[in-house]
Structure 1
Amino acid sequence: MANPHDNLTLQMLDWLQQRPHSYSEVMEVWRSSCPRLAIWEDACADGLIASEEGASGRILVSEKGRRLLQSAGGRH
């Protein structure tokens, strides 16, 4: 069985690619206080996320994140 954390990371990256999302929207959906499910924080640390400058900037999937999604076979 695949790691649930990895599956959630792929799900978040796929969600981010579907349409532009603001930082506040991403935090509302993906921020967690559970140290075992730090999907957002780990994706940022792993370089899978990019963002536009400013508080109202959009959150984007980085080139590294797009490669990960592609290697995983698309939507999750």
Structure 2
Amino acid sequence: MEAQPSLIMVQFLQWVADRPRTYAEVMDAWRSSCPRFPVWEDARAEGLVRQAGGEQGKRRVELTERGRLALERAAARV
């Protein structure tokens, strides 16, 4: 059984899922230099989000299938 995502990870995944987001938007809203708050880095490392299409700052950030499943599991717990 996979570990349940943290609340901040669920919030991040929901934010990404709410509407199309660019990489620049994600970095603006979620970039952190705090080692205790690496939600963007963790989401990428865990395969929950990916970048697709476009130029660097305009690339879309979207949930992967694994990210969608994690979000659905989190919603089912509520």
Flag whether TM exceeds 0.5 (same fold).
Answer: yes
Q: State how far apart, in whole Å, the 1-side matches of 2:63 and 2:11 are.
A: 12
Identity percentage of aligned residues: 41
Question: CA–CA distance in 1 between the matches of 2:24 and 2:72?
Answer: 26
TM-score (norm 1): 0.86
What is the alpha-carbon distance in structure 2 between the residues aligned to residue 43 and residue 11 of structure 1? 11
What is the SS of the residue equivalent to 2:33?
coil
RMSD: 1.7
User: Which sections of structure 2, spanning at least 5 residues, go unmatched?
Assistant: none
Q: How many residue pairs were aligned?
A: 71
Q: TM-score, normalising length from structure 2? A: 0.83
1:4-56 deviations in whole A, cap 9, x for unaligned? x8111100100101100110110010010000110000110000001113311
Moved over 2 A (4+): none
Match of 2:17 in 1: 17
User: Unpaired segments of 5 or more residues in structure 1?
Assistant: none
